[in-house]
Amino acid sequence: MAQIDVEELLARFRSRADAVKDRGIPPLEGEARQLFIKQAEKDYLDYSLIGGSSWSIEDGHLVLRIALA
Q: 3-state DSSP call for residue 14? A: helix
- What are the angstrom distances between the C-alpha of 6 and each of 31, 59, 64? 38, 16, 10
Q: Mean pLDDT in runs of 10 for the chain (69 residues)?
A: 86 96 93 96 96 95 92
Please name every residue paired with 62 in a beta bridge, in sequence order, or none if there are none: 57
pLDDT of residue 18: 96
Please name every residue paired with 65 in a beta bridge, in sequence order, or none if there are none: 54
pLDDT of residue 16: 97
